[in-house]
Amino acid sequence: MRTIDYTIEPPVVEGKPSLSSINEDIARPLETKPTKGWYIAISISLTMLLIGAVSLAITFIEGIGVWGLNQPVGWGFDIVNFVFWVGIGHAGTLISAILFLLRQRWRTSIARFAEAMTIFAVMCAGLFPAIHTGRPWLDGYLLPYPNQHALWVNFTSPLLWDVFAVSTYFTVSLVFWYIGLIPDLATLRDRTTNKIKKVIYSILSLGWRHSTKHWNHYEMAYLILAGFATPLVLSVHTIVSFDFAVSIMPGWHTTIFPPYFVAGAVFSGFAMVQNVLIIIRKVFKIEHIITLDTLEKMNKVMLATGMMVGYAYAMEFFIAWYSGNQIEQFVFLNRALGPYAWSYWIMVSCNVLFTQLFWFRKIRRSIPVMFVIGVLVNVGMWFERFVIVVTSLSRDYLPSSWGMYIPSIYDIGILIGSFGLFFTLIFLFIRTLPVVSIAEVKAVLPNSQPSHGGNH
Amino acid sequence: MENKPLYSVAATFNDVNKTLAAVQKINEAGYKNYDVHTPYPVHGLPHAMRLKSSKLGWVTLIFGFSGALFAFLFMYWVNVIDYPLIVGGKPFYQLPAYIPVMFEVTVLSAAVFTVVWMLFIIFKFPNNSHPLIDTEYMKRVSVDRFGISIQANDDLFELNKVKEFFKNLGAEEVFEIYYKIDELKDKPKIFDKKFISFLALTSIVVSAITYFVLNQLLFMSPFNWMHEQFRLNPQKATTVFKDGFGMRNPVEGTVARGYLPYPFKGKPADAEMKLVNPLIPTKQVLELGKEKYLTFCSPCHGNFGFGDSRLRGQFPNPPTLHSDRLRNMKDGGLFHIITEGQNVMPGYASQLTTDERWAIVHYIRVLQRSVNPKESDLR
Amino acid sequence: MSQDIQTFEAKPLSARFKQIAFGLLFLGLGLSVLAFLVDSHRALANYNVIFALLVSVSVGNLFLFAIEYLSGAVWSTVMRRVNEIFITFIPVVFVMGLFVLFNTHSIFHWSHEEAVKTDKLLQWKSPYLNETFFTIRYLVYFLVWGIFAFFMTKNSLKQDESKEQLLTYKNSKLSAAFIPFFAITLTFYSIDFLMSTEPHWYSTIFGVYYFSGTVLAALSVLTLAIILLHEKGYFGNILRRDHFYNLGALLFAFVNFWAYIAFSQFLLIWYANLPEETFWMIHRWEKGWEIFSFILIFGHFLIPYFSLLSQQSKSNLSRLKFMATWILIMHYVDLYWLVMPSLYKEIVFGWIEISFIILAVGIMLVLFLWRYNKIKNIVPIGDPKLKRSLEFHL
C-alpha cells in the first residue's frame, strides 16, 4: 500500500520552481516560432472548420431543409450540439470559480486554460441558436427591440431564457478570463522586446502596475466574479435543461433534469479539459506545472459527476415505473430496446461503465488510459443528448406520429465544423496568450506567501 | 536629467517577509503616500499597509439589485401592460417564469458593472502613461521581486533620506522614478493630421460598407427576404416543359365548377325527350326565372314574350313565345334552345347556370299561360 | 505555541446544559404522549416529521464527515469530533424509526388495504409500497448507515491513540465507498417516508431535495454546537475566524443550493401544468398552507441569503449562531411542509406540533450530552492533518 503523508500540504507545482522560471516556462511559447506540430494541428482543425463553413453556407443558401429534421423529430443535431458545447464550457467555470471558492489550490495551474476553453466552447454553442433560424442575419429580431407593433419576445419561454443565459455566461466568462489575464498581460508587456507586441500588451493590460492598492480591489472583484460565476454556471445548464423539462414530452418532463444536466455538463467538460491538457502539458513541457496529481483530481471529479449522471438515470427509470405512467415507461423501454437502442447503450457504457475504471488509482494516474476514458466520456455525453432529444421525439404519445431521424451530411459537417472552430481557437490561444495564469501560480508556490503564525 | 519632476523612490526586495517587515517600518516612520508592488497578491500585505477592505461589494449589490428590478419591471410591462397574450394558458403576470431572466440579468449587470467600476473608476484605467510603467523597477516587479515605492509628494519625503532608509531595510536595488516629461508636454491637438486622416478613413470605410449592405447585399440571395424562389410564378417561362410555358392548359375534358358538360349538344329532339325540369315552380323559382328572363331574354323577346322588344328593327325579331309550337314543346326543348341557341339566338349556357335556365323555362310557362289561360284560370 | 500547553480533553458539559436537555426531553415526551392520546393520527404524522429531522441531522453529519476525507479538507479536521458526536445518533434514530414502522397505517395511505383495492395506481405501486418491502428497505438503510458510521468513527477514535496515518487512508476509502450508497439510501428513505405520504405524486428530484435540506440541517447543528462550545471555552483558542468563515460559507452555499432545487422542482411542475403533478403543489398553496409556503420562500431562502451574503457576516459568531438555529428551524418547516398538507387539507399547526418540536430538541440535546460524555478528546488529536488544521488560514 502506498504511503501518503497527510501532514504535509501536497505541492501544487512540482520541483519547487522559482518565480522567474514560471515566467520563462509559460511565456516561452509566446516568444518562439510555432513548431511543425502546431502547423499540422491547426491545418487539421482549419480543415474541419472549413467543412463546417461549407456545410453552413449550403444550409443558408438552400435552407434548413438540407438538414435531417422532420416531423416529428423537429430538433436534431442542432440542439444536441448546442447542449453538448454549452456543457463542455461548464468545466472551465467550475475550475476557475467553484474550485476558487472551495480554496482548492490545485486549480491555479489549469484555471486559465479551462476558462479559455469555456469561452471557446460557448462560442461554438452560440453558433447553433444563431444558425438554426436558417437566416441568421435576421437574428437581431430575436432580441426585445423597441417597435411600433408591440411585438415582444416571449419572456416566459425557456428558449428565450437560453438567449439570456448563454449570452450572460459568455460575457461574464469573458470578463472573468480577461480580469485574470490583466496581470499576466502586464508581465508580458514588461518582458517583451517586440515593438508591436508591446503596444498590444500595453493596450490590453490597461496600464496594470502590480500595485497592492489595486490587488486589494482586484482580489475582491475576483471573489465577487467567482461568487457570481458559480450560480451562473449552474443556472445556464439548468435553463438549457428547462428547454426540455418544462414540456410535457415523456422522457423530458422530469424534475431531476436541472441538477442532472449540470452534473453531466461538468462531467463532459472535465473530460474535454483533461484531454486537451494532457496534450498541452506534453507539448509545452510544463508537466511540472500541470501535474499528474492535478489530472488525477480531475479524474476523481469525473468519477463523481459520472456517478451523479448514473444516479439520474436510475431515478428516471425508477420513477417512471413508480409513477404508473405507461407512456413514460414506454419511453425508457424504447430507449433501451427500440430503434435507437445502439445510441442508448453507447451512452450508458461510456458514461456509467467505463468511468467506473476511475475507482482504481492506477488507472486515474495512467495518461493513455485516462485520455481514452476522457474521449469515451465525451462520446457518451454527446450521445446522451442525442438519446434524450431524438428518442423522445421520434416516439412520443401517438404511434401514428412516430418517425425516424437520420442526420444529413450537412448536419454532420456542421458538427465537425464546430470541433474545428473549437480547436482552431485553442491553437490560436496557446500561441498568443499565456496558457497558465502566471500570477496565480506564483501566488501558490511554496514560500511565496509570508510565513506568519498570527492572525489578520 | 534636468527639470524632470520626481515621482517617487522605489526599491526592490527579493523576499516577501523582508518586504512585510519593511512595510511595518515605513508605517512606523510615518510615511503615508507609498505603494507596494508585487507580481502576485501577497496575503496580509493590504492589512500591513493599513488599507481599508475594498468596498466593491456595494457596487455589485447596487447594480445587481437594479438589474433584477429592471428586468422584472420590463417583463411585467411587456406581458401585463403593453401586449398581454395568453401563452400556455398561464396568467399574464407569471412571476415563476420571470425568475430565470431576472437572475441572468442580475448576474450580468452585477458582474460587468463591478469590473467596469473597478477598472475605470477606481483604478482610472487605462493609464499607460503612469510614471512607473516601462521602468526597470516595473520589470523587476513583474517577475520575482517585491517593490515599495514612496512618493515624492509625501510630507516626510526627502530624496536622500528615503534612499538611505531603503538601504537600511535591506533593499536589493533602489530606483528614482521620474515623470515622463515629454508625455506631460505633449498635449494632443484636435486637428492632428493622424487623427483627421483616421476619422476620414473610418467614415469612408463605414459609409462604403453601409451602402453595400443596405443597397446591394440585401437584394442578393439569400439576404433578400426570399424574393427569388424556385416556384413558377404566373406567366414565367420554364425549361421544364417542352413548349417553354410555365403555365399549363387544363387537361382535355376539364369543366369549370358549376358548369357540367351538356350531353345533348346538337340534339334538340333528344333534349326535349329526355330532359325533365328538376325545379318545382315555387314562388322563389318563379321570381328567379322572372329576374333572369328580364335580364337576359327580354332584350330580344320582349317583357312578355311577344318578340316586341326595344331592339325591334335592329335585330331580327324573334318569333313569339306564345306560338302553339312553343306552348306544346316540352320543358326540355325550351331548355335546349336556351342552352344551345337557335338560328340567330346565341346559347346562354355560359351566362346562366342550369338552375337559372330551368327557372326561366318555368317563367316562360307563366307568360304563356297568362296569354293563353285555361278556363279554370279565368274563374 | 499555545497548542502545546493546551490539552484537547473534552471537558464535561455544564450542569445547566444537562438540566435544559433533560427538561426539554421530559417535557417533550410528556406533551407528545398526551398528543398521541388526543389525536394519534396527527401525533404520528408529526413524529414522522421529527424522525426525518433526526435522520437529516445524523446521516447528514456522516455525509459531511465523508466529504472532509474525500476532498482532503484540513480546516474541518479540528472540529470533526463534534461531527462524529452527531453521527453516533444513528443507532438511536433507528430505534426511533421503528415506531413509525409499527404505525404505517396512520401515516401512509398506501398501507390501507381497502384503499389499494379500489385504487389502480396504488395497486400498480404495491410491489414497492407494501409494508414488508418497506420494512426491509428501512433495515437496509440503517444497516448501511450504521456500518459506515461505526467503522468510520471507530477509525477516527482509534487514531487518537495510535496516531497511524493508515487510519486516515482507510477512512478515505470508506468515505469514497460511502457516497454512492448514501445517495441511494437517502433518496429512497426520503421517497419512502416523505414522498409516499402522497402516494399518487412523484418527483425525480425529491431525493436531491431532501439531500439539500439534510446537508443544511447537519451544517446548522454542527455550526451551532461548535460555536457554543467555542464560546464556552471548550476549544480553548484554537478556532479562528477562518474556521468559522468556512462554516458560514457552506451554510450560505447550501441555502442557495436548496433554493435552486426547490425552485427547479416548482417551476417544472408549474410550467407543464399537468394535474397529476400540480395537485401536490396546489395543496400547498391553499386553505392556509400558503402561509407555510411563504415562510419557506422568505425564511428558508431570502432571509438566510441576505443575512449571510457579506464576507463579514460569514465569520460573525452571533450571526452564525442565529442563522444556524434559524436554518434548522426552517428545515423542520420544510419537512413539515412536505408531509402535513398531504394528510391534512387545511392548515394545522398547534400545541401538538410544538410538543414534537420540543421533543426533537430534547432528544438531540440529550443524545448530544450522552455521546459527548463518551468521548475523550474534543479534537482528533491523532489525525495527521491536525497541525495543518490548527494553522489553517484562508
The 3-state secondary structure of chain C reads: CHHHHCCCECCCCCHHHHHHHHHHHHHHHHHHHHHHHHCHHHHHHHHHHHHHHHHHHHHHHHHHHHHHHHHCCCCCHHHHHHHHHHHCCHHHHHHHHHHHHCCHHHHCHHHCHHHHHHCHHHHHHCCCCCHHHHHHHHHHHHHHHHHHHHHHHHHHHHHHHHCCHHHHHHHHHHHHHHHHHHHHHHHHHHHHHCHHHCCCCCCCCHHHHHHHHHHHHHHHHHHHHHHHHHHCCCCCCCCCHHHHHHHHHHHHHHHHHHHHHHHHHHHHHHHHCCHHHHHHHHHCCCCCHHHHHHHHHHHHHHHHHHHCCCCHHHHCHHHHHHHHHHHHHHHHHHHHHHHHHHHCCCCCCCHHHHHHHHHHHHHHHHHHHHHHHHCCECCCCCCCCHHHHHCCCC
pLDDT of residue A418: 96
pLDDT of residue C28: 94
Split at pLDDT 50, 70, 90, the class of C5 is: very low
With CA atoms as reference, report the closest residue to C295 among C249, C251, C334. Answer: C334
Q: Which residue has the higher pLDDT, B187 or A8?
A: A8
At CB < 8 Å, which residues of chain B contact C?
Answer: 43, 57, 88-90, 96-97, 99
Q: Which CATH class is domain A19-143+151-443?
A: mainly alpha
d(CA A197, CA A189): 8
pLDDT of residue B185: 62
pLDDT of residue B186: 64
- pLDDT of C234 over the 80 cut: yes
Burial pattern B63-99, b for ≥16 Cβ within 10 A else e, equals bbeebbeebbebbbebbeeeeeeeeeeeeeebeebbb
**In angstroms, what separates the C-alpha of C386 from chain B's closest C-alpha?**
22
Give the mutation candidate from B53, B104, B134, B183 for the A interface (greatest A CB count, under 10 A).
Answer: B104
- pLDDT of B310 over the 90 cut: no
pLDDT of residue A454: 40
- pLDDT of A28 over the 60 cut: yes
Tell me the pLDDT tens digit for each residue of B315-354: 777 888 998 899 899 989 999 999 998 888 899 988 998 8
- pLDDT of B116 over the 80 cut: yes
Lowest mean pLDDT among A86-100, C131-145, C268-282: A86-100
Q: Which three cell numbers stand for residue B349?
A: 349556357
**In angstroms, what separates the C-alpha of C90 from chain A's closest C-alpha?**
25
* Domain chopping of chain A, boundaries: 19-143+151-443
**To the nearest whole number, what is the mean pLDDT of chain A?**
91
Span A204-230, average pLDDT: 92
**In angstroms, what separates the C-alpha of C238 from chain A's closest C-alpha?**
12
- pLDDT of B309 over the 60 cut: yes
Chain B residue whose CA is closest to A165: B104
Q: Within the 195-214 window of chain C, which residues sit less than 8 Å (CB to CB) from chain A? A: 202-208
Question: Chain C within 8 Å of A307 (Cβ-Cβ)?
Answer: yes
- Phi then psi for residue A334, to 5 deg, are -65, -40
Question: Chain B within 8 Å of C275 (Cβ-Cβ)?
Answer: no
Cβ contacts of C273 on chain B, cutoff 8 Å: 88-90
Subunits that touch chain A (at least 3 Cβ pairs < 8 angstroms)?
Answer: B, C
Nearest CB to B99 within list C263, C273, C311: C263
Span A414-420, average pLDDT: 96
Split at pLDDT 50, 70, 90, the class of A276 is: very high
Cβ contacts of A356 on chain C, cutoff 8 Å: none
pLDDT of residue A452: 60
d(CA A255, CA C267): 9
- pLDDT of A455 over the 70 cut: no
- The DSSP H or E segment spanning B34 is strand B34-37
Nearest CB to C273 within list B57, B89, B99: B89
pLDDT of residue A344: 95
- pLDDT of A349 over the 80 cut: yes
In the numeric block, the cell 454553442 is attached to: A125
ipTM for the predicted complex comes to 0.93
Distant-in-sequence, close-in-space partners of C288: CB < 8 Å, separation ≥ 6: C346, C347
| Helices (H) then strands (E): counts for chain B | 15, 4
According to DSSP, the residues that pair with B149 across neighbouring strands are: B10, B35
Distant-in-sequence, close-in-space partners of A200: CB < 8 Å, separation ≥ 6: none
Q: Is residue A144 within 8 Å of residue A152, measured between CB atoms?
A: yes
- pLDDT of B53 over the 90 cut: no
Tell me the pLDDT tens digit for each residue of C28-67: 999 999 999 999 999 999 999 999 999 999 999 999 999 9
Lowest mean pLDDT among A2-16, C74-88, C114-128, C284-298: A2-16
| Helices (H) then strands (E): counts for chain A | 17, 0
- The DSSP H or E segment spanning A335 is helix A326-337
pLDDT of residue B361: 94
Span B138-158, average pLDDT: 89
Lowest mean pLDDT among B9-23, B60-74, B158-172, C1-15: C1-15
Question: Chain B within 8 Å of C71 (Cβ-Cβ)?
Answer: no
Give the mutation candidate from B40, B60, B79, B109 for the A interface (greatest A CB count, under 10 A).
Answer: B40
CB–CB contacts below 8 A, B to C: 16
- pLDDT of C6 over the 80 cut: no
- Tell me what percent of the residues of chain A surpass a pLDDT of 90: 72
- pLDDT of A2 over the 80 cut: no
Span A103-119, average pLDDT: 89
Query: Cβ A246–C268 below 8 Å, yes or no?
Result: yes
- Tell me what percent of the residues of chain C surpass a pLDDT of 90: 83
d(CA A321, CA C210): 21
**In angstroms, what separates the C-alpha of B289 from chain A's closest C-alpha?**
52
Nearest CB to C265 within list A3, A7, A255: A255
Span A80-104, average pLDDT: 90
* Domain count across chain C: 1
Helix ranges, chain B (H): 16-29, 45-48, 56-76, 95-116, 136-143, 159-169, 181-185, 193-211, 268-274, 283-292, 298-301, 324-328, 331-340, 354-371, 375-378
Span C259-267, average pLDDT: 96
What is the torsional sign of CA B345, B351, B356, B358? positive
Split at pLDDT 50, 70, 90, the class of C369 is: very high
Span C115-139, average pLDDT: 93
Span C230-250, average pLDDT: 91
- Domain span holding position C313: 5-390
CB–CB contacts below 8 A, A to B: 208
Distances (CA, A) of C178 to A295, A356, A424, C147: 23, 15, 43, 10
- Tell me what percent of the residues of chain A surpass a pLDDT of 70: 98
Split at pLDDT 50, 70, 90, the class of A456 is: very low
**To the nearest whole number, what is the mean pLDDT of chain B?**
88
**In angstroms, what separates the C-alpha of B117 from chain A's closest C-alpha?**
10
Q: What's the whole-model pTM score?
A: 0.86
pLDDT of residue B223: 87
**In angstroms, what separates the C-alpha of B257 from chain C's closest C-alpha?**
49
Lowest mean pLDDT among A64-68, A280-284, C315-319: A280-284
Span B285-300, average pLDDT: 93
pLDDT of residue B1: 46
